[in-house]
Amino acid sequence: MDSSSSSSIPWSTIWVVISWYSSNIGVLLMNKYLLTNYGFKFPVFLTMCHMMSCSIFSFVGIQVMEIVPFQSLQSKEQFVKICVLSLVFCFSVVCGNVSLNYIPVSFNQAIGATTPFFTAICAYVVSRKREAWLTYATLLPVVAGVIIASESEPSFNLLGFIICLSSTFSRAFKSVLQDLLLSSEGEKLNSMNLLLYMAPMAMLVLLPATLLMEKNVIQITVDVARNDIKIMGYLVFSSSLAYFVNLTNFLVTKHTSALTLQVLGNAKGAVAVVVSILIFKNPISMIGMCGYALTVLGVILYTEAKKRYSSNITN
């Protein structure tokens, strides 16, 4: 058999990966533009728009277009578990959007790259799950890189740093909780069906939060739209991208593997940093770039160590 033809990557997979990169980086840049450059300082309302979009598109994608088979809930206990996941998911997304008010996308991505570190901590605290010592060792450069990047970040903001760190921790905590709460065969949901249930729940939580924390935001948005109708296009575009991030994430995993998704995610973070610097012209030091590169290297080593540890257990 011709090795070149057997190892070639299908065009469908390439387009899915490109779409995943574009939607991920696009929603980050769009949110940053709206919240800082455009001056639409309502991150909770923006997140609610995202969840509304995810609710609508998920329903259409699963029930109408049948992208994946519909999975119904099996019990009240499963419903309660998904509610808990929705709250954590909601907190993570809100914190991520709020942090963009204070720190540049490049620094946001550097902090976000520490997700494996927090995942390992949460897995041990919640379920006493241990990794090989080599896996834990690879997390040292992940943390060290962010510390270096933080120390030399020209646009460093302590509040933004703490909020982004909270978002990263919540994202890691959600992944551990998801494995723990939906671990039985009868409760497992694919990511698209899980989003179908989680997005409306998150939207119901965000609606009163928006009305309490960002009073008159709807009236303000209407008033802004009267003078600049582009704001509506920005909100719709940002909200649509938020759904396509989840859709393409699912498709990349389907066309490749969860491990490949992690590796591609590492590269995506680096691309997002470069693109954001080129677009927003935020200052960044050479030491900061080295710190972020160290973090990415650590995540790559972590992924490789996890892969080897898993294969050894299997064998």
The per-residue pLDDT for 240 is 96
The per-residue pLDDT for 4 is 44
Contact 113, 296 (CB under 8 A): yes
227's tokens: 């003078």
The per-residue pLDDT for 5 is 41
The per-residue pLDDT for 128 is 81
Number of folded domains in the chain? Answer: 1
Contact 126, 169 (CB under 8 A): no
Q: Is the residue at 7 inside a domain?
A: no
pLDDT digits (tens, 9 = 90+) for 51-79: 999 999 999 999 999 989 999 998 899 99
Q: Is the residue at 68 inside a domain?
A: yes
Q: For residue 314, how far is the Cα from the chain centroid? A: 29
Q: Work out the pLDDT band at 224, boundaries 50, 70, 90.
A: very high
pTM for the model: 0.84
Gap between the Cα atoms of 72 and 164, Å rounded: 34
Q: Work out the pLDDT band at 129, boundaries 50, 70, 90.
A: confident
Q: Is the residue at 285 inside a domain?
A: yes
What DSSP string describes the chain? --HHHHHPPPHHHHHHHHHHHHHHHHHHHHHHIIIIIS----HHHHHHHHHHHHHHHHHIIIIIS-SS-------HHHHHHHHHHHHHHHHHHHHHHHHTTTS-HHHHHHHHTTHHHHHHHHHHHHH-----HHHHHTHHHHHHHHHHHHHT-TT--HHHHHHHHHHHHHHHHHHHHHHHHT-STTT---HHHHHHHHHHHHHHHHHHHHHHHSTTHHHHHHHHHHH-THHHHHHHHHHHHHHHHHHHHHHHHHHS-HHHHHHHHHHHHHHHHHHHHHHH-----HHHHHHHHHHHHHHHHHHHHHHHHHHHHH-
Residues contacting residue 242 through CB under 8 Å, at least 6 positions apart: 27, 50, 53, 54
pLDDT digits (tens, 9 = 90+) for 25-48: 999 999 999 999 898 999 999 999
Q: Is the residue at 19 inside a domain?
A: yes
Position 130, amino acid:
R
**Structural domain containing residue 309:** 12-314
Gap between the Cα atoms of 65 and 62, Å rounded: 6
Q: Is the residue at 2 inside a domain?
A: no
69's tokens: 């088979």
Q: Is the residue at 5 inside a domain?
A: no
Gap between the Cα atoms of 289 and 218, Å rounded: 40
Q: Is the residue at 6 inside a domain?
A: no
Mean pLDDT of 106-123: 88
Tell me: pLDDT of 250 over 60.
Answer: yes
Residue 270 has a CB neighbour count (10 Å cut-off) of 17
Cα-Cα-Cα-Cα torsion 106, 107, 110, 114, nearest 10 degrees, comes to -140
Q: Is the residue at 249 inside a domain?
A: yes
